[in-house]
Amino acid sequence: MKKIIYCLCLTLCILSLTGCGNKKALTVDEVKKIVKKDGYSVNNNKSQYEDYDDIKEALVIFNSDGIQLEFYVLDSKSDAYDMFKDNRDTISEEKAVGFKENSSKGLNYHQYTLTNNGTYSYISQIGKTLLLATVSEEDEAYIMNITNKLGY
């Protein structure tokens, strides 16, 4: 009986520490508020995707140092995951010797990073949203900082 109680307690602790593998998908307004506090500017880029019915919102996020990210809200989680996979597959096609890649996933998210040939690429899909960036390897810290603040 003690073993069963111990196992249940251990399982509850693990689930509480991992958050059950969920991340919070942000709205466009939440993203704007967070990044503007950090000195980034935001442009609505939806008009560039008028021919794509599944893209509901599109933002370009940038700062004065030339760091740029893209944030999308799609019609569904499956559309966001498809866009995640397409972008992941595209950037991983040309891996050079010495590349470094990481991926993780949870109940409602997928994340992929690739450091390759002097370039750092970041893709994160949470629910029906997608955040992505490709910058020089030296600017990885900028991306890590802002994505942590966004929770992506």
Structure tokens of 57? 């919102």
CATH code of residue 27: 3.40.1000
Q: Which range of residues forms the domain containing residue 39?
A: 22-150
pLDDT, block means (10 residues), the chain with 152 residues: 38 43 95 96 95 96 95 98 97 92 96 97 98 97 97 96
pLDDT at 20: 56
Query: Into how many domains does the chain fold?
Result: 1
Report yes or no on 15 lying in a domain: no
pLDDT at 152: 96
Count how many Cα atoms sit within 13 Å of the Cα of residue 66 in the half-sphere of its side chain.
Answer: 6
Helix, strand, coil percentages (3-state) for the chain, rounded to 5, are 40, 30, 25
pTM for this entry: 0.84
